[in-house]
Amino acid sequence: MAFAPSEEPVALKILVAGGFGVGKTTLVGAISEIRPLRTEEVLSDRGVGVDDTDGVEGKTTTTVAMDFGRITIREGLVVYLFGTPGQERFWFMWDELSYGALGAVVLADTRRLTDCFPSIDYFEQRGTPFIVAVNCFDGADRHEPDDVRIALDLDPEVPVLLCDVRRRASAKVVLVTLVEHALKMLTAAQR
């Protein structure tokens, strides 16, 4: 009698992108055990001019801290969350981060909506499934998701939702929305 061979472990990668201070760390921490992860990268030309490298001879490295979380769905099925620095000067990291990613959550703050333009452009070009989650900060005017959709010029199929990333339940809804969207895109592509 034959048993099915034990399944290969599956690791999935979800990115959390967005501007500085928009709540990426809070979102990752609300839903998973957050752990430190740092990269030390040789600064590319793109970084020069942003960082003050005057008088520095030769190559220099920069340390970038990422938010890193892990959710174990079951043994052999793990979802990894990576909070990625959203600024363009970190684009040297993005190709690697988005490689093989299941999808991305673009966190938006309606007071600084333009901060998430680079992330949205990037995922649109790569064909990475993404959703836009509008973090509702205290004191900020609440905007309807449709207003945000128009302001960001998003395709109609891209889900937009309001959230409060400090709340675990809300963070869960954000991730479920993303995976459902990724599933929808997958089944559409298979048809």
Partner 1 sequence: MTGPQWMDEEAGALVRPYALTGGRARHSGAKLDLITMVTTTGSPRDVPGIGPEQRRILELARRGASVADIASDIDLPLGVVRVLIGDLHDLGLVDVRAPGKVAPLPSERILKEVINGLRAL
Structural tokens at position 134 = 């509008």
Of 115-123, 136-144, 156-164, 173-181, which part binds partner 1 (CB under 8 A)? 173-181
Of 73-81, 115-123, 142-150, 158-166, which part binds partner 1 (CB under 8 A)? 73-81
Q: Establish if 127 lies at the interface with partner 1 (CB under 8 A).
A: no
Q: Establish if 68 lies at the interface with partner 1 (CB under 8 A).
A: yes
Structural tokens at position 25 = 């760390």
Of 18-26, 32-40, 113-121, 137-145, which part binds partner 1 (CB under 8 A)? 32-40
Q: Establish if 91 lies at the interface with partner 1 (CB under 8 A).
A: no
Q: To the nearest whole angstrom, how small is the minimum distance from the Cβ of residue 66 to partner 1?
A: 9
Tell me which of 9, 49, 55, 58 binds partner 1, using CB under 8 A.
9
CA distances (Å), 175 to each of 67, 123, 185, 186, in order? 16, 17, 15, 16
Of 47-55, 105-113, 149-157, 169-177, which part binds partner 1 (CB under 8 A)? 169-177
CA distance 54 to 65: 23
Q: Are 140 and 22 in contact (CB under 8 A)?
A: no
Q: To the nearest whole angstrom, how small is the minimum distance from the Cβ of residue 121 to partner 1?
A: 22
CA distance 12 to 103: 9
Nearer to partner 1, 152 or 182 (CB): 182
Q: Establish if 11 lies at the interface with partner 1 (CB under 8 A).
A: yes
List residues near partner 1 by CB under 8 A: 8-13, 31, 35-42, 61, 63, 68, 70-71, 73-74, 77-80, 82, 96-97, 99-100, 102, 168, 172, 175-176, 179-180, 182-183, 186-187
